[in-house]
Amino acid sequence: MLVGCRRPESRPVTAPPSQSWAKTYGGTSEDHAWAVHQTSDGGYIVAGYTRSFGAGLDDSWLLKLNSDGAVAWQKTYGGEAWDYAFSTKETGDSGCIVAGDTHSFGAGYYSDVWVLKLSSEGTVTWQKRYGASKWDGAHSIQQTSDGGYIVAGWTQSFGARCEDLSVLKLNGDCTVAWQKRYCGIHDDRARSIQQTSDGGYIVAGATESFGAGDQDFWVLKLDSDGTVSWQKTYGGTKCDEAHSIQVTTDGGYIVVGNTESFDAGDVDFWVLKLNSDGTITWQKRYGGPRNDSASSIQQSRDGGYVVAGYTASFAAHNYDFWVLKVNSDGTVAWQKTYGGTKEEEARSIQQTRDGGYIVAGYTQSFGAGGNDFWILKLDSDGRILFNPASGASVRDTNVVPVDTNCTVVDTTATVTNTSATVTDTNATVTDTNATIMQQAP
């Protein structure tokens, strides 16, 4: 080192402070957000359905938001009947893929799986329905490493006695690579799917065909061609349903849903941390004396997890958004409700690149109509400043997680190839002009 020169002081590198804001988007009727995903430009894509705008009874509704919640574009996609979007993800070309179900373009009275590939401006690249003679629908979609897509949901077609769990693997051009149903003798349904590092897939949902009670969590590990690597149920003597699953950094899985078997009241949040072979690392319930329903979970960058849903046990009035940040062992780091004087239900959460969180659902307390999209951008500690005049509030809750002791059962679902008809659809695409209201000061 040169004489007389001082070594520069080392300064810790810190992330920029995370934004926080809250906005409603809607019209005079019913508008429900089901999925939110941060995009590569720092904004967000939000998917759900609307009765305020569009061509039919309910239309799929997509909003592209900037990082501050301002609308870049907003469009409906639908026909004369009911058309729903339940899942969306950004794709490698900066567009997005959307999945749900359609009655407008389905087989007669029934619904079909509906998948739309959109450009970054919301124009339709392609739109297809996949179905047969009865009810078919999708709850979860993701682009896969080969440029195609994986879709999970349910089917009553193809000889199903009731509802069967279904998975479609699509090529990048929307043709079908393979399609399978996984079933027992009662209702079985998928809610969430994600590709795993080995090129296979992890699927979570609920089964009445197998398990210990009326309905159990059902998790299936699939190989890349849809064959089953392992399949297990997790549950007690009552109804337990998984809503969201994610691969964790240790190669295992985190899964969340609802339990009536181990609840303190009516329904509780239930989180299971699984190893790569489906054995349980830990299992905990979170709830109070009334209904508490979990919809979404994601691993956070600190190794913990963030969970979103809604609560009646800790709500200021009816139902409030409920967000829990839990540590890697399931203990609670922080927990908060967000709501007004009526009902709010959170459906989707994701950690954002600034360390905060984006939450999507619907509100009856605020906005322009009966139910509006409600999007909250929280900081890293779950904080958000509401304008006092809006009537919105943030409240800390004090739930103590409780260990559960569910029965784990290996299942033997029948796996059957299906043969859905693939049909082009011609949804009307309409620009919308939702009223946007901001609760943050």
* Strand intervals (E) in 250-391: 253-259, 268-274, 280-286, 292-299, 305-311, 320-326, 332-339, 344-351, 357-363, 372-378
Q: Are 24 and 337 in contact (CB under 8 A)?
A: no
CATH number of the domain at 21-430, out of 3.40.1360.10, 1.10.150.20, 3.20.20.120, 2.130.10.10? Answer: 2.130.10.10
Tokens of 40: 């590569």
Tokens of 205: 């949902």
Q: Tens digit of pLDDT for each residue in 117-152?
A: 999 999 999 999 998 878 899 999 999 999 999 999
* Length of the chain (residues): 441
- Mean pLDDT on 31-44: 98
Q: Tens digit of pLDDT for each residue in 141-181?
A: 999 999 999 999 999 988 667 899 999 999 999 999 999 99
Nearest to 204 by CA among 196, 212, 419: 196
Q: How far apart are CA 316 and CA 326, in angstroms?
A: 22
Domain boundaries, the chain: 21-430
Q: How far apart are CA 300 and CA 321, in angstroms?
A: 19
Q: Tens digit of pLDDT for each residue in 203-226?
A: 999 999 999 889 999 999 999 999
Q: What share of the chain is helix, strand, coil (3-state, %, to 5)?
A: 0, 55, 45
Residue 115 gets which letter from DSSP?
A: E
pLDDT for the residue numbered 10: 39
340: CB partners within 8 A, 6+ apart: 316, 317, 363, 364, 365, 366, 390, 391, 392, 393
